[in-house]
Amino acid sequence: MIPAVLPKTAKKTKDKNGHKAWMSELVKKHGTPLFVIDKSKLQGQVERFRKALPRVTPFFAVKANPCTDIVRTFADMGIGFDVASRNEIESVFSCGVTPDRMVFANTTKRPADLKYAVGKDVTLMTFDSEYELHKLAKHAPGARVLVRIKVPNVGSTVELSIKFGVDPGDAIPLLIKAYKLGLKPVGLSFHVGSQCTKVENYVEAFEMASIIMKDARLKQLPFEILDIGGGFPITHFDHEDDLFDTMAPVIGKELDRLFDDSIRIIAEPGRFLAGPAGMLIMRVVGKSIRMNKHWYYLDDGVYGCLSGIIYDHCKYQYKVLKKGQTQISTIAGPTCDSLDVISYTEDMPEMDVGDIVYVENIGAYSYATATNFNSIPPAKVIFEK
């Protein structure tokens, strides 16, 4: 992916009341669909996270958006990276990141990827089964490991504890097993679910982790790292309120109460860091009336950067530059598949072919899961410096 750089002239025309002049100039130069990444928003989210949770070191979840310019921006800011495959490790290395700034947090790793990671000194890894421990002992001997436990995901958009995490009561036996297999147990990890809206999930997970930590120390097992995962919410989907600023003080207070300064605390934010920085710009490429309703066909859809509708349970907000009387309309994507319907219930003014539709806060789990179905390529990436 080689993104274009936003022309300086386009940035100058962007006014505080909207994006009309800026978007129009951008579309005129590059066409559509466009996936615009705002570097200043990437940097702003990192600084916001650091200020709100100064004790927690963020490790960006590369899977949220592997765009090289995003990875490089975060690399230059000195944060870490949650990687899930060899390709992600290679991408992070290409931006000058050292192996100690990575955690291989895929709990089911391919043997070939394990061998590559160990060969490159990426040795901090997560696991959540005894089978994975045996694989690690064989292909990554001496690796430092974090046991991932199952924690409450109530109220989160994506419940990850269905697929990942061991029962908390199994954590200590598995850490002991890791030690006996020649691995180096160093702590635990968890994830409260993606787009978490209940701070109670974090609080309960911290309590579980604290109990396991105390038990580990009683059994003379090393416990140095607590990985609190991701899930930090952004203004997105059905959640209009930005809950992070109210949740962060509670998270910070509980971490300080339960874990002394000898415990290194890391997190794996993906959506929180990349989500607010992305905007998708599309145009109407077709129009019809079906079932007494206007249908508008856009040049991107669920097989492209709106793939989050399918894979990430996303409910995006679709905005237009046109004004006028609105009516309930359907918007659909450009492919030859009836699945490619974006929304049946959008309240929009009547539009014509060529009119712009855009989505904000779409920087995560969108371009990363876009396909080339019908040989229609994903949106062109524009990196706004």
Are 243 and 292 within one domain? no
For residue 97, is pLDDT > 70?
yes
CATH number at residue 101: 3.20.20.10
Q: Is residue 45 part of a domain?
A: no
Same-domain status, 233 and 371? no
- pLDDT band of 155, cuts 50, 70, 90: low
251 in the same domain as 292: no
Tell me, yes or no, whether 61 lies in a domain.
no
Express each pLDDT in 24-46 by its tens digit: 999 999 999 999 999 999 999 99
Q: Does 265 share its domain with 310? A: no
- The pTM (predicted TM-score) of the whole model is 0.92
By mean pLDDT, which of 94-108, 166-180, 241-255, 340-354 is the weakest?
A: 241-255
* Per-residue confidence band for 237, with pLDDT thresholds at 50, 70 and 90: low
The pLDDT, as a whole number, for residue 108 is 95
Looking at 209, 235, 269, which one is the last position of a domain?
A: 269
Tens digits of per-residue pLDDT, 280-331?
999 999 999 999 999 999 999 999 999 999 988 888 999 999 999 999 999 9
pLDDT for position 161: 58
Does residue 305 carry a catalytic annotation?
A: no
CATH number at residue 32: 2.40.37.10
Give a yes or no: residue 255 inside a domain. Answer: yes
Does some domain include residue 314?
yes
Residue 109 lies in a domain: yes
* Count of structural domains, the chain: 2
The residue from 269, 300, 322 where one domain ends is 269
State the residue range of the domain holding 313: 4-37+278-384
Given pLDDT bands bounded at 50, 70 and 90, which one contains residue 81? very high
| Contact yes or no for 34/25 (Cβ under 8 A) | no
**33 with 143, same domain?**
no
Concatenate the DSSP letters of all residues of 221-233 into one string: ----EEE------
Mean pLDDT (the chain) is 91
CB 80 within 8 A of CB 101: yes
Do residues 144 and 210 both lie within one domain? yes
Would you call the peptide bond into 99 cis, given omega within 30 degrees of 0 as the criterion? no
Among 212, 246, 269, the domain boundary falls at: 269
**Given 67, 95, 196, 336, the catalytic residue:** 336
**Do residues 258 and 282 both lie within one domain?**
no
Q: 236 lies in a domain?
A: yes
* 171/291 same-domain check: no
Cα(144)–Cα(184) distance, rounded to whole angstroms? 5
Tally the residues of the chain. Answer: 385
Question: Do residue 216 and residue 338 come from a single domain?
Answer: no
pLDDT band at 193 (very low <50, low <70, confident <90, very high): confident
Q: Of the ranges 79-88, 175-184, 228-237, 362-371, which one carries the lowest mean pLDDT score?
A: 228-237
Predicted confidence at residue 159, as pLDDT, reads 53
